[in-house]
Amino acid sequence: MNDLSEHFSRTEFACKCGCGFNTVDVELLDVLLALRSALGPTTINSACRCPAHNLSVGGAENSQHVLGRAADIVVANTEPEVVVAYLNDWYPGELGLGSYSTFTHIDSRSNGPARW
């Protein structure tokens, strides 16, 4: 059962180490829901990370994942650079967006936009 929305459950956002950290930022969830509505099914590869797990996967020291404000996602049949382009158009001057070869990073950072 999806306990956060029709399309997402808290377990999808949980830290992969099993520690139980599963905080989900409401703004991030809203962005993911809008993205799914526009582009289609969206899979969360990684979201919340406790500091130890973030370190073990080589995450940035000040990662938004540690704050429950980031998700690495895949949108079905859509290349990451297309996802970033859509989000950049929809949320100009907002969000952290990163395009990687196999996924897109989205975060709802509060200190201004970031792109990579």
Mean pLDDT of the 74-85 span: 97
Per-residue pLDDT tens over the stretch 56-73: 999 998 999 999 999 999
Task: State the alpha helices, DSSP H only, in the chain.
Answer: 10-13, 26-39, 51-56, 80-90
Position 1 scores a pLDDT of 52
Share of the chain residues as helix, strand and coil, in percent rounded to the nearest 5:
35, 20, 50
* CA distance readout (Å), 48 to 89, 91, 92: 26, 22, 24
CATH number for 10-115: choose from 3.40.470.10, 3.90.660.20, 3.30.1180.20, 3.30.1380.10: 3.30.1380.10
What would the two tokens of residue 35 be? 């993205």
Check: pTM over 0.85? Answer yes or no: yes
pLDDT at residue 99 is higher than 80: yes
Phi first, then psi, for residue 19 (nearest 5°) are: -70, -20
